[in-house]
Amino acid sequence: MITPKMVPSIPIAPRRWPLLGHMRVIAKEQHAFLLEMERTLGPVFWINMGFGIWSIVVTGEEAHTIMKNKATRSDLLDKQVPHITGHTLLVNDGTEHRRMRGAMNGPFTPKGINAADIGKMIYDVVEEHFESWEDDASLDIHHITNVFALDVIFRILGIEGADLPLWRKKFSEFIGPGMLLPFEFPGSPKWKSKKAQEWMDERFSVLVKQAREKSDTQSMLGALAHGADERGRRLEDKELLANLRILALAGHETTASVLAWVMLHLSHSPKHWDLLLEEVRQSPNEPITPKTMASYPLAEAVFRECLRLYPPVSLLPPRRVAEEMEIYGHTIPVNTRVVASLISLSKDAAAYPDPLSFQPERWLGREKRPGPLESVQFGGGPHFCLGYHLALLEGVQFIVSATRYLDKHNLRPTLQGDLPTPKYLPLTRPPKTHIELHAA
């Protein structure tokens, strides 16, 4: 791998520890650190992610060059956790990636989401999750949104409600914290992770077979099981299974984290809660399609603003430079690790005045829908989030349903004290924080 000695024109970020490099500061105060580095060093600098692994972080608009994946490749992740990312969209590029993406895109478009009645499915899961919301309840909000988002994605992928607790357990073994450790023996976290993967694959195989036998092309799983790109090329079965797993991974913690921040901010800002109540009371239709979602501009604005302030994927997974490239006038050699800082683009003061403050209003009254630059929290280029429309629908629906439910039960969410400081790695998320429900 390439080290700073080979590209000395790019500065090395300070606050580096022996052995751990910048890992500590990235884990503890990532956003503030990256914003400070951009201010003091400029839009490109070296960081060390521990044990001699160097990456160039790009904070300015040239980060988009990295995401375009013309001179860069996404295969680094596959070396770390091959049993999780192998054969998936995430680690493929070029023709292979286009084939996979072409075979999977359909059900994730607004049309595909409508055809599979995903909105209604999400609505049902939301309702089930509100049963414990009562007067004087104290809710561990990130835990709640996490279980909710995992249930949503499993239900969408054809898992029955009664089976969800077991799937949750297996899934937590699959992505358990020890999976990155190098050793593996019976009972070790990595061994358990692989066993859980086999368990899920066996069950997904049965569901895929059933969907094919029934010629089901409507449901999300059915559409994926039958999916083909414009040249009629389908996913191989091992690719389909790997991608079903990655959908659950990519599609739950990200949405869960944003929704937890949404509830924390709404509990902390009575003004925005009141405005949202007004919006929800005026619109009787549930936002179960991307079209009916349009009746809830403030709910979407709150979601987008929390996404902007706390992008779950604040640093894009590192790319490997495959062809020598230029970034801000520096020549970057082949095999350098380069990282696009989505958090820096998200908090760019030129695009968002007073970028650190919570102002959902900045998303309202626009003539055009937010474009790719304003949705950069979902990445960019060919790997732009497959679940973009689904995440927005799920987010708006959760916010509207939570508001309606609490209004109906005459409850109001409140947060004691200040908003918490985010935690980082692997994703930006709030620490365990409770919100309280009290009579309005």
Residue 133's Cβ-side half-sphere holds a number of Cα atoms within 13 Å equal to 24
Sign of the alpha-carbon dihedral angle for 256, 258, 264, 267:
negative
- CB of residue 426 to ligand HEM, shortest distance in Å: 12
Q: Report the C-alpha gap between 174 and 193 in whole angstroms.
A: 4
Task: List, in sequence order, the alpha helices (H) in 330-387.
Answer: 342-346
- CB of residue 81 to ligand HEM, shortest distance in Å: 14
Closer to ligand HEM by Cβ: residue 246 or 280 = 246
Q: Which SS3 state, helix, strand or coil, does residue 386 take?
A: coil
- CB of residue 188 to ligand HEM, shortest distance in Å: 28
Residue with tokens 């690790």: 337
Closer to ligand HEM by Cβ: residue 54 or 108 = 108
Give the chain's length: 440
Residue with tokens 């799983």: 221
CA 225 to chain centre: 23
- CB of residue 91 to ligand HEM, shortest distance in Å: 8
Residue 405 sits at φ, ψ, to 5 deg, of: -60, -50
Q: Report the C-alpha gap between 432 and 142 in whole angstroms.
A: 7
Q: Which positions touch ligand HEM (CB under 6 A)?
A: 74, 89-90, 101, 153, 246-247, 250-251, 254-255, 258, 307, 312-313, 316-317, 377-379, 383, 385-387, 390-391
- CB of residue 402 to ligand HEM, shortest distance in Å: 16
Asked whether 54 and 1 are in contact (CB, 8 A), the reply is: yes
- CB of residue 360 to ligand HEM, shortest distance in Å: 16
- CB of residue 44 to ligand HEM, shortest distance in Å: 19
Closer to ligand HEM by Cβ: residue 103 or 313 = 313
**DSSP output for 71-119:** SEE-THHHHH-HHHHTTSGGG--HHHHHHHHHHHSGGGSHHHHHHTTHH
Strands 411-414 and 434-439: antiparallel
Closer to ligand HEM by Cβ: residue 47 or 437 = 47
Calculate the alpha carbon distances from 166 to 105, 188, 208 in Å. 29, 20, 19
Closer to ligand HEM by Cβ: residue 346 or 412 = 346
Closer to ligand HEM by Cβ: residue 327 or 437 = 327
Q: Which SS3 state, helix, strand or coil, does residue 123 take?
A: helix
Q: Report the C-alpha gap between 385 and 308 in whole angstroms.
A: 15
Position closest to ligand HEM via CB: 387
Closer to ligand HEM by Cβ: residue 193 or 254 = 254
Closer to ligand HEM by Cβ: residue 401 or 411 = 401
Q: Report the C-alpha gap between 155 and 134 in whole angstroms.
A: 25
| Residue 38 tokens, joined | 């951009």
- CB of residue 223 to ligand HEM, shortest distance in Å: 13
- CB of residue 77 to ligand HEM, shortest distance in Å: 8
- CB of residue 251 to ligand HEM, shortest distance in Å: 3
54 Cβ partners below 8 Å, 6+ apart? 1, 2, 3, 4, 46, 47, 48, 337
Closer to ligand HEM by Cβ: residue 307 or 400 = 307
Closer to ligand HEM by Cβ: residue 89 or 298 = 89
